[in-house]
Amino acid sequence: NYGYGVRALQQHGVMLVDHPNFREFAIWLAHESIPGEYMFDNRNYSSGFHQGPTPLILTLATRDNPAAKWLVDQALGPERTTTYGTPGLLWGEYSDKPVAPPDLPLCRWSSSMGPVLSRSGWEQGSFFCITMEPFGGGKVHGDKGAFTFYSHGLAFAADSGDLNTRSEDHNGVLIDGKAMLGGGANVSDAIVRNHMHSELGDFTLMDVKPAFEQYVGYTQTRPGKADWVKLEYGLGLPYIWVKRMSLERADRYALYVRGSVQPYAVIVDDYQQDENPRRYTWQMHSRAWGEVSAPGQVTWRSRYGGEYLQSEERGAPALFSGEVAEAGQYAVWVLMRKWPAMKNWFTHPASITVNGRGGGYKYLGDHLADWGWYGYAEQNLVAGKNTVGITLARGGRVAQVVVSRDPEWTPDTMVGTEAGPGIEALPPTATLLPRQTAAEGGNWSLQTDPRARMQVRFIQPGAEALEFSFAHKPRMGLTCLQAEQQVVQAGFAAVLLPHDDRDPQPELTREGDTGEAVLRWGPYTDYLFADPARKLPYRGANLETDARFALVRTEGERVVGYMLAGGHSLAFRGKLLVGSSAGPLCVMNDGNSCQVQAPGGAIVRALHLGATVVECNHQPVRSGIAGELLIVPVPRLAQEWKVETSEDGSTVTVEGDGPQPLKIQAPQAIKCVVNGVSVWFSRDGFGNIYPKLELTVLTHGREPRDSKPEDAWVK
């Protein structure tokens, strides 16, 4: 409840509430919210709801903070099912006027913390995140490079929540079953090598190799295991890096692509531990129901599509009736879901009656958890006609009711008389009860679910030889897709295509087993190439490149955007798009801006496309033009550090490329910018900061001057 403390300080003239870090808090939460769902992205937390106006958010909302005002409105929801509570009685502004979404960019890269948060809109749309957290900020998971993806009201790629800290429970890659170390004292780190965002898409290159290779150990200062929650300044130090294993590389390229019918994502992984064949496992956890739909292809679906009844207010039950041949005890299964705005689970009991007798109740789960089968066991049915009644609060949805005399059978997705894509065939021991309640008038309305689904298409060479399996994790409410290959150098390239019955269907065609694919979806055609394990340049029907990943977008016959990552050159049908004298480099051009990241001293040529803004290594640069090509000379950084501190000491600006680690006397610093990028930094107890240039510098509190690495506690 530090929000009360902030408010109390304000009453005494201490305006801590106007500190930039506090103002940033509301902006951060706004970027983490899922469009149209009244929830936050659930990374590493057990509950992602907008839980109500907190003292700090309410206080920020009164300080001309549009993001905080919007968060208060989102917490209340369109149904106003959450109250203001005590903070609201003290400081709330009781207005029913709608609050506009904050005027913020659709992509947020926290260059100091690591996560990249992308969205297609604020009211509706999709949300994508690739995450990491440097150690030192509290509890840390082994999830460096893990991604989440929400679209069409469903958590297609979901996080495992608060208590599941292992990377085996996140969306990453395992090596011979081994994962990153994270959680507790086994804290690790990673490096964001590059980030770009534009109207074409949001791109991140994350080096997760350090998270496999080493973790943090401490000095032992008390009986028992040292733990991050028990650290005290001046005790348990110094930190040291404990070596665990060695890798050649572990790079994850992630691109959230805009402009198609729906935004989609591309995840490309380049992994190699050593020169021995090893088993690499690509993982994705989901709330949806998954099945292998073709070699190299998995389809995730919502568990139901079609007509359903929605409760507009608690009242008469929805009735489902049918006949069974034998009297006896039956399990009753009901397929239900909640309306998105109904965010508090405890407000949604679902009770049933069987032939007029009470049959029990269940609580509906989160909307993003998809349709779910709720079982009511040991119900006595008669031979002949039986009727099941379902009573729901406003916003509850019911689609199917099944009775089964087999106590071991559990439905998983929607059922039918015959099996089909995403449809489970009823066994002989089960009966589907038809809906009897008419939706005209009364407290029920008839709605249609367009059945959200997402194709996961692997396009790298050898994709059709991947071995797929599904690991069900009922405690987390998730199913984990595992795609495996036994190789020396592993390459995965997954294209994630979300859509539903209202969207034109995406048409993705692989150009043989080459790594090249063509996506025709809406007004654009996207030509994709991904072969992270390849060592030789590729020359195909449309693309020529030596990149790990490339994308070329056309409208008709005209190139309107392109992206290259991890190479030197890219051409489309013989026309040069990117060429460089040195590399590897990353280039993104959406026709408005051209962004380049390349080694100092390189000369980069890039197809102009009318771009009016040119940036190189996150800094504006002057470029030349030769015909249709931009000529971008990449500046060389001085081999020393130039450090400037603002007058109030709060901001430190650094330029150059000098010796590491970089140590700066700046006791009042709250922000450090290195070569144009705001970076994470650690402190010691003597007023020094250590900006993160590669791995986090292991400094915390007042280290005992006589501490030695051999004193450190190692697991």
pLDDT in tens, 505-517: 999 999 999 999 9
Residue 693, both tokens: 């240039």
pLDDT at 467: 98
Q: What is the pTM of this model?
A: 0.92
Are 283 and 142 within 8 A, CB to CB? no
Report, as an integer, the average pLDDT of 264-284: 97
CB neighbours of 65 closer than 8 A, spacing ≥ 6? 23, 26
- Which residues are 402's β-sheet partners? 333, 432
Distance from chain centroid for Cα 411: 29
| Average pLDDT score over the chain | 86
Q: What is the pLDDT of residue 64?
A: 78
Contact 334, 401 (CB under 8 A): yes
Task: Compute the distance between CA of residue 224 and CA of residue 245 in angstroms, rounded to an integer.
Answer: 26
Helix (H, G, I), strand (E, B) or coil at 224: coil
pLDDT, tens digit, 9 for 90 and up, residues 523-572: 999 999 999 998 789 999 899 999 999 999 999 999 999 999 999 999 99
84: its two tokens: 């203001």
Q: Which residue has the tokens 């429970």?
A: 169
Mean pLDDT of 249-254: 97
Q: Please, are residues 270 and 491 in contact by the beta-carbon 8 Å criterion?
A: yes
Mean pLDDT of 640-655: 96
Vertex 423: Cα angle to 263 and 331 (nearest 5)? 125
The partner residues of 549 in beta bridges, in order of sequence, read 530, 565
SS3 at position 18: helix
Instruction: Count CB atoms within 10 A of the CB of residue 644.
Output: 10
Candidates 164, 148, 168; CA nearest to 156 is 148
The percent of residues above 90 in pLDDT, for the chain, comes to 62
Q: What is the mean pLDDT of residues 259-269?
A: 95
| Residue in 619, 621, 622, 593 with CA at minimum distance from that of residue 673 | 619
pLDDT surpasses 70 at 1: no
Q: Does residue 583 contact residue 604 with C-beta atoms inside 8 Å?
A: no
Q: Phi/psi at 420 (nearest 5 deg)?
A: -160, 180
The larger pLDDT score, comparing residue 572 to residue 473, is at 572
The upper half-sphere exposure of residue 383, i.e. CA atoms within 13 Å in the direction of its Cβ, equals: 3
For residue 228, the model assigns a pLDDT of 44
- Write out pLDDT tens, residues 606-616: 999 999 999 99
Average pLDDT over residues 400-417: 95
Q: At residue 85, does pLDDT exceed 70?
A: no
pLDDT of amino acid 193 = 92
Are the C-beta atoms of 455 and 261 separated by less than 8 Å?
no
Average pLDDT for 35-46: 70
Among 391-395, 446-450, 543-547, 701-705, where is mean pLDDT lowest? Answer: 701-705
Rounded to whole angstroms, the Cα distance separating 595 from 614 reads 6
Distance CA 63, CA 19 (A): 11
> What are the chain's domains?
1-104 (no CATH), 106-302+452-503 (2.70.98.70), 306-449 (2.60.120.260), 505-637 (no CATH), 641-713 (no CATH)
- The mean pLDDT value for 378-404 works out to 94
**Residue 346 pLDDT > 60, yes or no?**
no
In this predicted model, what pLDDT tens digit does every residue of 148-187 receive, in sequence order? 999 999 999 998 877 777 778 889 999 999 888 755 556 7
What DSSP string describes 565-595? EEESEEEETTEEEEEESS--EEEEE-SSEEE
Longest dimension (CA), the chain: 87
Statement: residue 705 has pLDDT above 60: no
Burial of 487 (0-12, 13-18, 19+ CB in 10 A): middle
Per mean pLDDT, which range of 57-71, 142-156, 338-352, 373-387 is the poorest? 338-352
CB atoms within 10 A of CB 193: 17
pLDDT of 715:
42
- Residue 617 backbone dihedrals phi, psi, to 5 degrees: 50, 45
- Residues 101-158: pLDDT tens digits? 889 999 999 887 778 999 999 988 999 999 887 665 556 677 889 999 999 999 999 9
Residue 363 neighbours by CB distance under 10 Å: 12
pLDDT at 180: 82
How far is Cα 361 from Cα 682, in angstroms, rounded to an integer?
A: 52
The rounded distance, in Å, linking the Cα atoms of 680 and 140 is: 15
d(CA 228, CA 54): 27
Give the C-alpha separation, 221 to 216, whole Å. Answer: 16
Q: Which uninterrupted H or E stretch holds 494?
A: strand 490-499
Q: Of 469, 515, 412, nearest to 292 (Cα)?
A: 469
pLDDT of residue 699: 59
| Band (2; pLDDT cuts 50, 70, 90) | low
Percent of the chain with pLDDT over 70: 84
Q: Which two tokens stand for residue 3?
A: 């929000």
- Looking at 21-35, 88-102, 321-335, 452-466, which range is the least confident one? 88-102
Phi, psi of 23 (to 5 degrees): -65, -35
Q: Which residues contact 3 (CB under 8 A, 6 or more apart)?
A: 54, 55, 56, 57, 58, 59, 87
- Evaluate if residue 418 carries a pLDDT over 60: yes
